Structure 1
Amino acid sequence: MVMGPSLLHHITFLHNKMENNQTEKILNTFVVSASVTNLTYFLSLTTEGKGGWNRNGCRLHNTSVDYTTCLCDHLTHFGVLLDISRTQIDKQNEGILTLITYLGCGVSSVFLGVTVLTYTAFEKIRRDYPSKILINLSLALLGLNMVFLVNSWLSSVGSYGLCVAVASVLHYFLLASFTWMGLEAVHMYFALIKVFNVYVPSYILKFCTLGWGIPLVICCLVLVLKRESYGSSLNSSCWIQDEVAFYVSVGGYILLVLLFNTAIFVVVLVQIRHMRVNHPVGNQSSLLLQDLKRVSSLTFLLGLTWTVAFFAWGPVKVPLLYVFCILNSLQGFFVFLFHCLMKENVRKQWRIHLCFGRFRLQDYSEWSQTATAAAKPRLYPPVRMPSVRSIKSSSTDSTSASSNSSQRQVSIRRPNLGEIT
């Protein structure tokens, strides 16, 4: 795959006399020196210090008695972020996956930007908790896609410090994305499973502290304990090179989040199934389409498509990498599709504020009061709970509590936890 000159990195090697061959060049003496912007991954050496040039990702530019200059690209595919096997694939598939990745990340970045702007600009659709969580998740995914897109260009500059900074920022946004996916699952647990939870003060503030704070702590620990974990090999972008740091701070963390999200996903499906059985209303084919939409929406919202990476081993690695790159580089587009384009209240806001003529919709006051509630019924009823004062009274004076229960009990409605779409 031919890359533009802006993505090429010039590498100069100082070596002794080379023994020429029609097919390749090999070193016939010990290496005197090799400098690749503080990196040393290009030479393939034996234990005795001899070896040949590893041309993976690089091509010969010119050569002389004293110097050999190569041009190397730093483009890579999305699967490298969670490549558990940490093995190379053939050059042809690498090129195709790279092309898919950059197209997908570009598309996702655009639609994630639209999603963030839509929910930020229209106050009526960001009143509930799911909308606020969605904004933060979209910002994390947008940061991940944008940093990945510029990673190759920045790594070609050849600055080790810059490469460490880019790799750590990419690491941060990857962990932040999964942290917010996990918080989406936590919110669903509160909304659908823990039906007797009471109002949590500063709910979103606490979520933001966790969503943006946990990834920051992990990245800072890697920088403090082993900064050299971040870096770049000659034929890849800036990313985590140390295997221990990768498996602990990326593979292990993401695996825990995905296991939790999968458990919540299964429980939500069971809840939906129970509701369908207990309240069979509407056309069955229409209900099936609604359930399919909910399942697809939750799959991308909880990041379950990333589980593909944990099965990409051996002979199935390349096919699963295609699935992984297509689905996950386009995750931002699917977030926009299910949570903007297919949501009635979002479309109404677009028509009210962005459309003209016969497509424009008037901002009716009666609809404005229920803008955050979808046309579909909620998946859970409001919960009524006795007040603390009522509970105390009943424990100390059962007779008095029973006679005055209607006066001492108050209804506490849970905060609007939104809906599963």
Structure 2
Amino acid sequence: KRLNTYVVSASIENASIQNLNGLGGWNTSGCKTEYTDMNYTICFCNHLTHFGVLLDLSRTEIDTTNDYVLTLISYAGCGASSLFLGITLVTYLALEKLRRDNPSKILLNLCAALLMVNLIFLVNSWLSSFNKPGLCITVAVLLHYFLLAAFTWMCLESVHMYLALVKVFNVYIPKYIIKFCIAGWGIPAIVITVVLIINKDFYGNGSLSKNNPFSNFCWIQENVAFYISVVAYFFLMFLMNTAMFITVLLQIHSMKSKTQKRSTFWKQGFLRDLKSAFSLMFLLGITWGFVFFAWGAVKIFFMYLFSIFNTLQGFFIFVFHCLMKEDVVKQCRLHFCWGRFRLNNYSGKISCTEFYWSASGATVRSTPRHLDHRSPSQPLEYLNSDGTSSTSSSSDFVPGISLDLRIGKKNSVHWIE
């Protein structure tokens, strides 16, 4: 027999079904029939959620076709980012020389937070399908925490770049990285705790709510909690990161204008500057700002940009901070490669990724004073026992930026250009 009327009511395992679509018509979206006979029917349903749901300001559903495409982009991007973030973490953790300086330690924390965001997002819909309120609340809380932690570490990246490239020697901060870790992991924990104290049921999958776009996704269901604890939090971080982004780029331009001829700057430095700008954009999370334009007629377009760039953020971090970073490539060739690809003798340039570097009797301290664990009264010294001077460069604060370390006579104080 064929059912040729609207659905009036339904019951599945003693659970009542409410808020049917429209007039109660059948909707096959996301489901397909696996097997059917006169006694029962087996269906396979695949309800997933696209990445834009994390910061969807309108919190409304989109059409089925775009939702499906965005979902495919989101899961492919998050899967790729998880892989490359894992490679980045393993590379820096395995090679002790790469993680000695503060920029690398900050990068490691950011990668860890982003990796957790991607992994939790990938399993969220699956865990939501179990319809266990306690499990869904836990998943939503963890996703919320690591998302805020990722935003915070992006902001701390911008603060560090500002101190390293703009302030330089004017500030001294004792226990620098410890304070960053307390802020990076502690501030999000405070926000989550406050939300849980107010009402833990702000989290869930919204399965009992009418026309809820998060009915298959464990996330914040209460709008006020979402706008305050996610949108407002991100907006403050985004404003600070954008200001730092512009300031750092202007400082880079100023530094290069002083050290290079104008003609050389335009002919040889453009691609390097472009690489630096893109690297900063992904490291500081500037691309997350696409969400502020996802309204009205252009919502779908910016949702695509948001999903593509931000699900692939981990991949771009790998490209700019592993694949295109000279020190990382050389250390990998030194320790992981063999045959003609192995680098046997790598003395290297003087690098900001090393606390100490020794060659030809020279001892170099390459960490700026305000990022170093010394008293403010101690000067930054470059000592060379044979009295000669040399010049080297590094690009570890920002990829593509050369920092010249001038080494002079013993006990003389020099500078980083």
Q: Is the structural similarity TM-score above 0.5?
A: yes
**Counterpart residue number, 2:379:** 411
Per-residue CA deviation, residues 81-114 of structure 1 (Å, 9 max, x unaligned), is 0000111100011011000110000000000000
Matched residue SS, 1:75? coil
Q: How far does residue 177 in structure 1 lie from its aligned partner after superposition?
A: 0.4
| Cα distance in 1 between the residues matched to 2:46 and 2:201 | 22
Cα 1:350/1:289, change in 2 over 3 Å: same
Native 8 Å contact 2:128 2:136 kept in 1: yes
**Counterpart residue number, 1:242:** 222
Q: Residue type of the partner of 2:398?
A: I
Native 8 Å contact 1:120 1:126 kept in 2: yes
Q: How far does residue 212 in structure 1 lie from its aligned partner after superposition?
A: 0.8
**C-alpha root-mean-square deviation of aligned residues, in Å?**
3.4
Cα 1:258/1:22, change in 2 over 3 Å: same
**Counterpart residue number, 1:91:** 64
Native 8 Å contact 2:352 2:396 kept in 1: no
Cα 1:296/1:369, change in 2 over 3 Å: closer
Cα 1:196/1:287, change in 2 over 3 Å: same
Q: How far does residue 170 in structure 1 lie from its aligned partner after superposition?
A: 0.6
| Cα distance in 2 between the residues matched to 1:299 and 1:280 | 25
Structure 2 residue 320 is matched with structure 1 residue 346:
no
Cα 1:279/1:411, change in 2 over 3 Å: same
Residue 333 (structure 1) aligned to one of 312, 315, 321: 315
Per-residue CA deviation, residues 219-247 of structure 1 (Å, 9 max, x unaligned), is 12111111111111344311111101110
Q: Residue type of the partner of 2:331?
A: Q
| Cα distance in 2 between the residues matched to 1:119 and 1:367 | 17
Per-residue CA deviation, residues 184-237 of structure 1 (Å, 9 max, x unaligned), is 011112112223434322111111111111111111211111111111134431
**Counterpart residue number, 2:348:** 367
Q: Residue type of the partner of 1:335?
A: I
Question: TM-score with structure 1 length normalisation?
Answer: 0.77
**Counterpart residue number, 1:181:** 154
Q: How far does residue 326 in structure 1 lie from its aligned partner after superposition?
A: 0.6
Mapping for residues 318-329 of structure 1, pairs under 5 Å: 318-329=300-311
| Cα distance in 2 between the residues matched to 1:249 and 1:71 | 36
Matched residue SS, 1:246? helix
Q: How far does residue 353 in structure 1 lie from its aligned partner after superposition?
A: 0.8
Q: Highest Rg: 1 or 2?
A: 1
Q: Residue type of the partner of 1:271?
A: Q
| Cα distance in 1 between the residues matched to 2:171 and 2:381 | 8
What number of residue pairs does the alignment pair up? 359
**Counterpart residue number, 2:253:** 273
Residue range with higher mean Cα deviation, 67-76 or 200-209: 67-76
Native 8 Å contact 1:77 1:97 kept in 2: yes
Matched residue SS, 1:76? coil
**Counterpart residue number, 2:244:** 264
Mapping for residues 160-199 of structure 1, pairs under 5 Å: 160-199=133-172
Q: How far does residue 280 in structure 1 lie from its aligned partner after superposition?
A: 2.2
Mapping for residues 109-120 of structure 1, pairs under 5 Å: 109-120=82-93
Cα 1:300/1:144, change in 2 over 3 Å: same
Q: Which structure 2 residue ranges, 5 or more long, are not aligned?
A: 208-214, 355-365, 383-393, 400-417
| Cα distance in 1 between the residues matched to 2:108 and 2:368 | 25
Q: How far does residue 358 in structure 1 lie from its aligned partner after superposition?
A: 1.0
Structure 2 residue 186 is matched with structure 1 residue 213:
yes
| Cα distance in 2 between the residues matched to 1:198 and 1:269 | 20
| Cα distance in 1 between the residues matched to 2:312 and 2:395 | 27
**Counterpart residue number, 1:10:** none
**Counterpart residue number, 1:399:** none
| Cα distance in 2 between the residues matched to 1:69 and 1:243 | 36
Residue 19 (structure 2) aligned to one of 33, 43, 51: 43
Q: How far does residue 127 in structure 1 lie from its aligned partner after superposition?
A: 1.4
| Cα distance in 1 between the residues matched to 2:140 and 2:368 | 46
Residue range with higher mean Cα deviation, 80-89 or 69-78: 69-78
| Cα distance in 1 between the residues matched to 2:25 and 2:381 | 69
Per-residue CA deviation, residues 96-155 of structure 1 (Å, 9 max, x unaligned), is 100011000000000000000111111111111110000000000000000101111111
| Cα distance in 2 between the residues matched to 1:27 and 1:359 | 68
Per-residue CA deviation, residues 267-311 of structure 1 (Å, 9 max, x unaligned), is 111112222322224463320011000000000000000000111
Mapping for residues 58-77 of structure 1, pairs under 5 Å: 73-77=46-50
**Counterpart residue number, 2:398:** 420
Native 8 Å contact 1:305 1:324 kept in 2: yes
| Cα distance in 2 between the residues matched to 1:261 and 1:34 | 52
**Counterpart residue number, 1:292:** 274
Q: Which structure 1 residue ranges, 5 or more long, are not aligned?
A: 1-19, 374-379, 391-408
Q: Residue type of the partner of 1:244?
A: V
Identity of counterpart residues, as a percentage?
51
| Cα distance in 2 between the residues matched to 1:367 and 1:87 | 54
Question: TM-score with structure 2 length normalisation?
Answer: 0.77
Matched residue SS, 1:43? coil
Residue 144 (structure 1) aligned to one of 117, 120, 128: 117
Cα 1:59/1:127, change in 2 over 3 Å: closer
